[in-house]
Homo-oligomer: A and B are copies of this chain.
Amino acid sequence: MISKKGCVVLLSGGLDSTTTAAIAIDEGFRCHALTFDYGQRNRWEIRSATEVANRLGIEDHRILKIDLRTIGGSALTSDNPVPKLRDLHGTATDIPITYVPARNTIFLSAALGLAEVVEASDIFIGVNSIDYSGYPDCRPEFINAFQKVANLATKAAVQGGVKFKIHTPLISLSKSQIIRKGLSLGVDYSLTRSCYDPGQNGEACGECDACQLRLRAFRNVGMVDPIRYLPKHPAR
């Protein structure tokens, strides 16, 4: 039996990272999943990530605690309100307040550290073209620059000759295309969560950017989003 090549997948338990993990598995990788407990408002994310990892048969799932509230600067790590029903047709100069300063740089850095420890050279991150329009650290030029850092920063690269690669299989896909891809791979989206500001029992709010994008994408695919929404916002 040939042992599979390992990779590290950043797994938030959201729609994008779950699909990304399924793609990595479909490409023949053995996944080491990394989830961050970064003081985010949505504490349900971590539970979703665990359920997703279990369902996908990922044996090594690590939850890394980093308290980004120490840094602050985002609606997602503070008690400031999350914006609702915002215009989604943002441009590159219209970065939402849900932006977390340097988040993907921090997450990729830790993924790089884990990759080095588990002797993997491939890192998967679910950035995509929708995020691209709002978040600077979801753009291909950022990913390329980070890949250069990875290949200069590590013992594995400098001493071991490893060439790190950052995989972004969703980067040019729309949310609807991501869902179609995931469905074709058997992803169970009922386990995933996207809401920035869920209700007491984890129900999605239906109003934040993440919910709106998700609801619209499921409508475009012609199916009902299988997760639970607060009563006033049924998934239709």
Do the beta carbons of A137 and B154 come within 8 Å of each other?
yes
Q: From A65, which residue of chain B is reached at the shortest CB distance?
A: B67
Do the beta carbons of A149 and B152 come within 8 Å of each other?
no
Give which listed residue, B104, B105, B154, contacts A101 with CB less than 8 A.
B154
Q: Is A64 an interface residue (CB 8 A)?
A: yes
Interface residue stretch chosen among A81-89, A91-99, A224-232 = A91-99
Give which listed residue, B93, B113, B117, B155, contacts A106 with CB less than 8 A.
B113
Q: Which residues of B contact A114 (CB under 8 A)?
A: 71, 101
* Closest-CB distance, A197 to chain B (whole angstroms): 21
Listed residue (A104, A106, A156) with the most chain B CB atoms within 10 angstroms of its CB: A106
Do the beta carbons of A65 and B64 come within 8 Å of each other?
no
Known: A62-B70, A64-B71, A67-B65. A155 touches B116 (CB 8 A): no
Give the number of chain A interface residues (Cβ < 8 Å). 48
Do the beta carbons of A102 and B70 come within 8 Å of each other?
no
Q: Is A223 an interface residue (CB 8 A)?
A: no
Q: Is A180 an interface residue (CB 8 A)?
A: no
Q: From A136, which residue of chain B is reached at the shortest CB distance?
A: B158
Do the beta carbons of B102 and A109 come within 8 Å of each other?
yes
Assembly CA distance A101 to B113 (angstroms): 5
Q: From A114, which residue of chain B is reached at the shortest CB distance?
A: B71
Do the beta carbons of A117 and B153 come within 8 Å of each other?
no
Q: Is A26 an interface residue (CB 8 A)?
A: no
Give which listed residue, B71, B92, B157, contacts A158 with CB less than 8 A.
B92
User: Using a CB-CB cutoff of 8 Å, which residues 95-129 of chain A contact chain B?
Assistant: 95, 99-106, 108-110, 112-114, 116-117
Q: Is A139 an interface residue (CB 8 A)?
A: yes
Listed residue (A95, A153, A156, A157) with the most chain B CB atoms within 10 angstroms of its CB: A153
Do the beta carbons of B62 and A65 come within 8 Å of each other?
no
Q: Is A72 an interface residue (CB 8 A)?
A: yes
**Could you name 12 residue pairs across A and B whose Cβ atoms are closer than 8 Å?**
A62-B71, A66-B66, A66-B110, A95-B159, A101-B156, A102-B112, A104-B153, A105-B149, A109-B109, A136-B158, A137-B153, A145-B145
* A interface residues with partner B (beta carbon < 8 Å): 62-68, 70-73, 92-93, 95, 99-106, 108-110, 112-114, 116-117, 136-137, 139, 141-142, 145-146, 148-150, 152-159
